[in-house]
Structure 1
Amino acid sequence: MRPALIVLPLVLVAACATPREQCISNVTRDTKVLSNLINEVRGNLARGYALDRQQQVRTIPKTCRGEDADGNTFRFRCDETRTDTIVTPVAIDLNAERAKLASLEERFAQSQAASNQAVAQCIAVHPE
């Protein structure tokens, strides 16, 4: 599936959100990012290693058939491009990862408090 086909529905859904929902989404974005990072670090600690994700783009040679205006069939090259995500285990320093987790959890608590105030302000500004 093309990336544009994935992004378009997301844009349409975002366009349908009420001003209140858009405001809340904007003010909670950092908290959501921190939450995702905390979950990733916890997973790394549980596994004992991190997972490195890289995209590999491959071109697969293909031949297609076509027809010209006179009705004659012909062949032409129509390569297909595929993108695969390659996941590779990566060694980590567990002590550094624990320190990172502690730092992220502290920042999350601060961000959560700020987000709660901002959400209350969004609700006050945009009553439904």
Structure 2
Amino acid sequence: MKPLLALVAAALLLTACTEQDMCVYRNTAELRATESRINELEGNIARGYAIHRTTEPYTFTGVCRDKDGKPFECTRTEFREVERPVAIDVADQRRQLRALKVKLPELEREAAAARAQCAQLYPE
């Protein structure tokens, strides 16, 4: 459920953004994804395991109301995010991290150039 909420929140933020902001957002997606993956890998390495998140349904008995507002017992289904530890190959995670850190400076340069170009295309 959280990824859906994040998507809705991002969409709402983008609707309030300027053309320049949207241009920067579009042109820095790879940098943001890489930074996010670096953070994830660093966390995995520090913990020694990854965390797998899933959204799972659960059912419970609760109180519902009929069309007249009278309460009655009913079965409801909700969803919750469940986190489970997952074994990782720490050496492989370190290799992936090194590769991304090598790539990061180039992505940062590209993002800086994109920001400058967006500022020229869409002055505020």
Q: Which runs of 5+ in 1 are unaligned?
A: none
- Percent of aligned positions that are identical: 30
TM-score w.r.t. the length of structure 2 is 0.81
Describe how 1:1-12 pairs up with structure 2 within 5 A: 10-12=10-12
Q: Which runs of 5+ in 2 are unaligned?
A: none
Q: Paired residue for 2:19?
A: 19
CA RMSD in angstroms, aligned pairs only: 2.8
Runs of 4+ in 1 over 6 A off after TM superposition: 1-6
> Over residues 7-47 of structure 1, what are the superposed CA-to-partner deviations in whole Å (9 max), with x where a residue is unaligned?
65543331121101111111112111110110010011111
**Change in CA separation of 1:65 and 1:2 when aligned onto 2, cut-off 3 Å:** farther
**Change in CA separation of 1:84 and 1:76 when aligned onto 2, cut-off 3 Å:** closer
- Amino acid of the residue matched to residue 89 of structure 1? P
**Change in CA separation of 1:10 and 1:113 when aligned onto 2, cut-off 3 Å:** closer
TM-score w.r.t. the length of structure 1 is 0.79
Partner residue of 1:82 out of 78, 87, 95: 78
Q: CA contact under 8 A between 1:56 and 1:84: conserved in structure 2?
A: yes
> Paired residues, what number?
124
